Amino acid sequence: MNNNFDKLTKSLAQTAACRAALKQCGAGLARLALAGLLILPATASQVQLGPLIELSRPNAVGTCDDGVTLPGPWTLDDASEPYVAVNPVNPKNIVAAWIQGCFQDIVAAASFDGGRTWQQALVPFTVCSGGPFLGTGDPWLSFARNGDLYLISVSGPSFDYRGITISKSSDGGLHWGPAVLVHPLGDDYALGDKPSITADPRDARVVYAVWDVYDSIDASGQIYFSRTIDGGRTWEPGRSIYVPGASTDALDDTIVVLPNGTLVCLFEELTTDPITGDVAIAIALLRSTDHGQTWSGRIPLAQEFLVNALDPENGQTVTTDNQSFAVDPRNGNLYAVWPDARFNNFQFSSIAFAMSADGGLTWSEPIPINQTPRRLPAGNRQAILPAIAVAADGTIGVSYYDFRFNDGRPGFLADCWLVQCQPSRRQPATDPTNWGDEVRLTPRSFDMEQAMAPLFDYFVGDYEGLTAIGDDFVTAFGQVDRDGVTSIFFRRVER
């Protein structure tokens, strides 16, 4: 769900970086005959790019409309907020999921040949895709070690009344089981939001889910947790594992699993001054050494200094605020990225990176890692929406958007990029000079002003998809296509 939508729904007094929600409609399997994987040279050394493959068109549900509406320009064909996962049993099996329409439906696409061809599949959360609800958003995927695939989402009869749902696929994303409600439907006093799901890499029976629950009475948001220990047949009742206090909202929760089995739940925390309305943003974490039965207290990671991304032509906001986390399964190093304005006198956001080598107990000082040229107007140097992943050889990849090719002509030109780092003892990931080998994922710039804009924020997603297959990175991200439709694209970066 779009962070701008959610934060606006939660508290108009919080921050201009509100959250946004999106969805999609579905109706049965629709096969996509997509182009073969043509290898094109990239700008980075020893890197080749596969073709840019459009996943979300044709629209899997056609003209079916679940009936949920939000203000601002969008259509049923618009798609956003993708996530992507790779099957550990069969690395050629890649699955992406996204929101079709605006808080309408969740559609998945599965490939069994490493991303050459794809098949669309409907996830039965909403009426148009065979489920019970009218709205859904915030898809998140995780494969268990035996190849079972889990998808978690926000779902409900309306945008303002929703719970948390999970569906399971046992055939690599082609078919999905019925929606399981792990958090009951609630309104502004118990609003389930922004879930994520993580399968335990050591035990196929164990899967963890976290989400936030907002209470508009005291403007606070708690972190809730559930798990299955029987492969999704049953889920433990959701329970609060962190209560930040009045006027503080904990959200955007993600669990990663360290090699020793320790769970680390990373999240964002917004604290609103009740007098001035000013919002302080922090990134923090909890730890569990017993598979989620008990949790530590709050451990700080960093302060976040957020400046909304703005179109320099008209001042309209682009959805900006997100964090992304990853773990290196070889050594347990934890990595975090987020948009931050501390590096340029708080004029605009760059992409901040920090790491922990002790399981999240302590963290390095944030550094900027995006490669946006410095000799540009401030409006064109904005960098937003990072996603992070770790390849098998330990290389770190971070995707993000910037506006370096924007010019004086009408429109707001945007591109998606992948920057890489190969950490070593001599050159750790905390050294800004060790970040480079940048790859342009968009073959040409797209006009952000043509993107869908629910609640009048330009929107391609609250987050984008990035993961690894061996030493390769695979991406799923949003951009405006040649028909002016906000769409989901896949691209593989071969190393």
- Mean per-residue pLDDT for 46-64? 94
3-state SS, 310-337, equals ECCCCCCEECCCCCEEEECCCCCCEEEE
Grouping H, G, I as helix, E, B as strand and the rest as coil, residue 125 is coil
Percentage of residues in the chain having pLDDT higher than 70: 91
**Which of 26-35, 85-94, 147-156, 476-485 is the least confident region?**
26-35
Mean pLDDT of the chain: 90
Position 43 pLDDT exceeds 80? no
Place of tokens 């937003």: 384
Single pTM value for the model: 0.91
409: Cβ contacts below 8 Å, ≥ 6 apart: none
* pLDDT 10s digits, 251-305: 999 999 999 999 999 999 999 998 999 999 999 999 999 999 999 999 999 999 9
Q: Residue 369 has what pLDDT? A: 98
37: Cβ contacts below 8 Å, ≥ 6 apart: 50, 51, 114, 115, 116, 492
Position 26 pLDDT exceeds 60? no
Q: Domain spanning 3-494 has what CATH number? A: 2.120.10.10
Q: Residue 190 has what pLDDT? A: 84
Position 132 pLDDT exceeds 50? yes
Element (H, E) at 9: helix 3-10
From first CA to last CA, the distance across the chain in angstroms is: 32
Max Cα-Cα span within the chain: 58
* pLDDT 10s digits, 336-393: 999 999 999 999 999 999 999 999 999 999 999 999 999 999 999 999 999 999 999 9
Question: What is the distance, to the nearest Å, from the Cα of residue 124 to the centroid of all Cα atoms in its chain?
Answer: 21
What the block records as the tokens of 325 is 């986390």
User: Hey, where are the domains in the chain?
Assistant: 3-494
What is the rounded CA–CA span in Å between residue 464 and residue 82?
5
Q: Is the peptide bond before 329 cis (omega within 30 degrees of 0)?
A: no
Contact 103, 68 (CB under 8 A): yes
DSSP state of 147: S
What is the rounded CA–CA span in Å between residue 45 and residue 413?
26
* pLDDT 10s digits, 193-251: 999 999 999 999 999 999 999 887 777 899 999 999 999 999 999 999 999 988 999 99
Q: Residue 45 has what pLDDT? A: 53
* pLDDT 10s digits, 422-476: 999 999 999 999 999 999 999 999 999 999 999 899 999 999 999 999 999 999 9
Q: Residue 9 has what pLDDT? A: 37
Q: Residue 58 has what pLDDT? A: 96
Contact 211, 253 (CB under 8 A): yes
Position 326 pLDDT exceeds 80? yes
Q: Residue 438 has what pLDDT? A: 97
What is the rounded CA–CA span in Å between residue 402 and residue 17?
18
Residue type at position 124: P
Position 400 pLDDT exceeds 50? yes
